[in-house]
Amino acid sequence: MTRGRRWPVILLPGGILPAQPAYQRPLAELGEAADARTRDLEMYAAASVPPPGYSLETEVEGIEGLADGSGFDTPHLVGDPAGGASSLAFAASYPERLRSLTLMEPARTGRTGQTSKEAAVFDPFRTIPGLPPDKIMPVVIETQLAPLVEPPASLPGPRPTWMPSRLLAIGGFLAAFDADEPDVEVLRAFDRPVYFALGGRGNPGLYARIAARLGDVFSDFMLDVHEDRHHFRSTAPLGVRPTGGCLAAALDSGGINPGLDGRMNELIFTAQGGKWR
């Protein structure tokens, strides 16, 4: 961090866990090192879920509005699953507005370069709109885990008050992901650093393939594999969370290095002079 300046950072949560619990610890630890902003996705901004006319463009407009309202010309943009898909869409629409891009196992990244085998991995998700509420999360979780990896145990206590809206949103997210195809040529020309956090215990046919495809697109791409983590939790004591394990991994052990200020070193990433540190 340059003396007297704070790094502008926007952090977008996934489609399930709200922004406040997802980023409460990182935001507290960031302190004054960054001017960091987060909020729930635009999917949940209206009275109905999904809101009328929802698309990834809705999320892109929301990111633009948050950046403008925060006075951020070129923020670092961090996105976890659905927030990652939204962040990628923003990079394709406004590449000049970003200083860097962090993707935590983004939910979807378009179909360019996608094999039929990779496309088939998403088939279980397409059954979700027709499932009863108590069957949705098992499909969401199990589809994203590697074979023989045990799903996380349910948390004790009552279901969070925000969970019903999250279950309603899944079908809307899927439709928006299917309808969106980011401009690959714009992404190929994107010359800012891109960081991708990948859990080694996740479904190898899902996020690892997405990472491989994006690695062929972006010119300045860093893949950071956390072997002991998956999308929902970690087996390591550092950063254990019931959800967002790969996000926790990247935030807890990732590589932001703003000059001599080490307070962000274990939280998110950045680049200096276009080079990874």
Q: How far apart are CA 203 and CA 201, in angstroms?
A: 7
Give the CATH fold of the 7-264 domain: Rossmann fold (3.40.50)
Q: Side-chain half-sphere of 19: how many Cα atoms within 13 Å?
A: 17
User: What is the chain's pLDDT, residue by residue, as a tens digit (277 residues)?
Assistant: 444 578 788 999 999 989 988 888 777 766 777 788 999 999 999 999 999 999 999 999 999 999 999 999 999 899 989 999 999 999 999 999 998 898 989 998 998 888 888 889 889 988 988 899 889 988 988 888 888 888 877 767 788 899 999 999 999 999 999 999 999 999 999 999 888 888 888 888 899 999 999 999 999 898 888 777 777 764 432 232 322 333 333 444 333 322 222 222 233 333 222 222 2
* Largest Cα–Cα separation, the chain: 54
Beta-carbon contacts of residue 38 (< 8 Å; ≥ 6 apart): 10, 11, 12, 13, 19, 22, 23, 27
Cα 36 to the center of its chain, rounded Å: 16
What does pTM read for this prediction? 0.83
Question: Where do the domains of the chain lie?
Answer: 7-264
**76-79/194-199 β-pairing:** unpaired
